[in-house]
Amino acid sequence: MKIKQFAENFHLTTDTVRYYEKEGLLHPQKQDNGYRVYDAACEQTMKFIIVLRQLGFTLQEIKHLLTLEQKPISTACNEETVQLFSVKIAQIEQQLRFYQHALQSLQLTKTLMADGQYEKNQEKIASLMEGMYQNLLEGRGL
């Protein structure tokens, strides 16, 4: 398929698709007339990119994983991939802890504000927000 249809299928702009190609993430076939043709392999790669981006992988990390995938299967490639995934898992776990704490704090804040009780509970609410901020500073968050 051509770039416009490919981009639409993934809810992306054609500029984004071109950028991914420029960065070496996508490798469409080029026809004699210069048009790019995106095949099933490009679709699989784009799904991979979208999922990993949603998980917080950078484009450089994704490019590195795609490069490793092109190499022959080896213990070194496997260990490198496992290491990269281990780092990302730790980051996601930190984010989860932050969001769990933030969700509890926001739910409590909502309860403290219910029925016009903001003024009465203003200090408690400020303390909850301070706690979330401190979690960010201590590396438990984003």
So what's the pLDDT on residue 60? 95
So what's the pLDDT on residue 2? 94
- Interval 25-48 mean pLDDT: 95
- Interval 28-47 mean pLDDT: 94
Averaged pLDDT score across all residues of the chain = 91
Amino acid letter, residue 40: A
Q: Which two tokens stand for residue 113?
A: 């504000």
So what's the pLDDT on residue 87? 93
Identify the residue whose tokens are 């932050």: 98
- Interval 31-48 mean pLDDT: 94
The half-sphere exposure of 63 on its side-chain side, counting CA atoms within 13 A, is 12
So what's the pLDDT on residue 140? 55
117 — pLDDT class (breaks 50, 70, 90): confident
pLDDT value at 102 more than 90: no
So what's the pLDDT on residue 136? 80
φ, ψ dihedrals at 36, nearest 5°: -90, 140
pLDDT value at 78 more than 70: yes
- Predicted confidence (pLDDT) per residue in 7-29, tens digit: 999 999 999 999 999 999 999 99
